[in-house]
Structure 1
């Protein structure tokens, strides 16, 4: 009986800790997103463009060769971006290249 009680208490405590940490992580993510948006607005207001990472010529060449997946992989390797962010960036770059 005593062991079952301790086990239930341990599981309950683990659940509480997990939910508390998850809430804190979500809160920090919201703060980081807000900070990124504010920084982007500030850079736009000041007319400052973020410098292009070295190696983007490789990404452009892959796009011109119609090798989108390889371009996304190269973009991720160069910038450290996630898959969704890299796909959006490569798609936007492809549109810009088609206009030129």
Structure 2
């Protein structure tokens, strides 16, 4: 095999592997975005129906101790939401429990 042919074969193989990884990564991101959108919609439906999502006891413990930042961290760990969504959720929980923030 000519060295140029070997070089082209290696480059083609690397390109094919990179394309496959890129496609898999794109599918994964798309699935994550769809799941996040579905979770947001479910949260809205639950809020509309007045159904409270179960709250991790650690979140409640932090709120009762006045540690809002730790409660937000615990909520994010539990749910995987963004910082803004977690802060809003923790604020709603505190309001429902009539706790000072």
**TM-score under structure 1 length normalisation:** 0.64
SS at match of 1:35: helix
The 8 Å contact of residues 59 and 74 in structure 2, kept in 1 or not, is answered as: yes
Deviations 1:40-62 (A, max 9, x none): 12212221111221233431226
The 8 Å contact of residues 43 and 49 in structure 1, kept in 2 or not, is answered as: yes
Q: Which runs of 5+ in 1 are unaligned?
A: none
The 8 Å contact of residues 56 and 78 in structure 2, kept in 1 or not, is answered as: yes
Q: Which runs of 5+ in 2 are unaligned?
A: none
**TM-score under structure 2 length normalisation:** 0.64
The 8 Å contact of residues 53 and 79 in structure 1, kept in 2 or not, is answered as: yes
SS at match of 2:57: coil
**How far apart in 2 are the matches of 1:41 and 1:73?**
19
Aligned partner of 1:92 in structure 2 is 91
The 8 Å contact of residues 56 and 75 in structure 1, kept in 2 or not, is answered as: yes
Aligned partner of 2:33 in structure 1 is 30
Q: 1:77 to 1:31 in 2, by over 3 A?
A: closer
**How far apart in 1 are the matches of 2:48 and 2:90?**
25
SS at match of 2:100: helix
Deviations 1:25-45 (A, max 9, x none): 121012102211221122122
